[in-house]
């Protein structure tokens, strides 16, 4: 059985995620659920192999969502077997919000 890293969300990343789910669901019934499925699939990949995606800035990695224009920005906390999701980033947003510090 594969060891999985725990997934933890920065409070702002969690808000970005939930706001995006609501936006997609309001735009088209069922689209929010499709977004959740895409994100959860990507989070599962990251939890199984956190080093799969490239380092982009300092120790922060980026994983692109396939069907939606989003990037998950995360850091690996290997000693704690944890992944900190720092941003659920849409490229139309302020680029300064893409790389935030962990809490």
Is pLDDT of 82 > 90? yes
Cβ–Cβ < 8 Å for 82, 5: yes
Q: Which domain holds residue 13?
A: 6-91
Domain CATH for 12: 3.30.2310.20
Q: Confidence class of residue 93 from pLDDT cuts 50, 70 and 90?
A: confident
Position 20 in a domain: yes
Report pLDDT digits (tens) over 19-40. Answer: 999 999 999 999 999 999 999 9
Domain count of the chain? 1
Position 74 in a domain: yes
Rounded to two decimals, the pTM is 0.89
Is pLDDT of 58 > 60? yes
Position 101 in a domain: no
Which of 5-37 are b and which e, b meaning 16 or more Cβ less than 10 Å from the residue's Cβ? Answer: bebbbbeebeebbeebbeebbeeeeeebeebbe
Position 85 in a domain: yes
Cα(77)–Cα(5) distance, integer angstroms? 9
Q: Confidence class of residue 2 from pLDDT cuts 50, 70 and 90?
A: low
Position 12 in a domain: yes
Strands (E) across 1-103 are located at 6-9, 55-57, 60-64, 71-77, 82-89
């Amino acid at each position: 059985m594969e060891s999985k890293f725990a997934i933890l969300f920065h409070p702002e990343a969690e808000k970005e995620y939930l706001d995006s789910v609501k936006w997609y669901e309001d735009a088209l019934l069922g689209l929010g659920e499709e977004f959740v499925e895409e994100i959860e699939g990507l989070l599962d990949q990251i939890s199984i192999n956190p080093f799969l995606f490239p380092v982009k800035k300092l120790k922060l990695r980026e994983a692109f969502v396939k069907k939606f224009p989003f990037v998950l920005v995360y850091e690996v906390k290997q000693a704690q077997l944890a992944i900190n999701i720092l941003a659920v980033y849409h490229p139309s947003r302020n680029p300064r919000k893409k790389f935030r510090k962990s809490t």
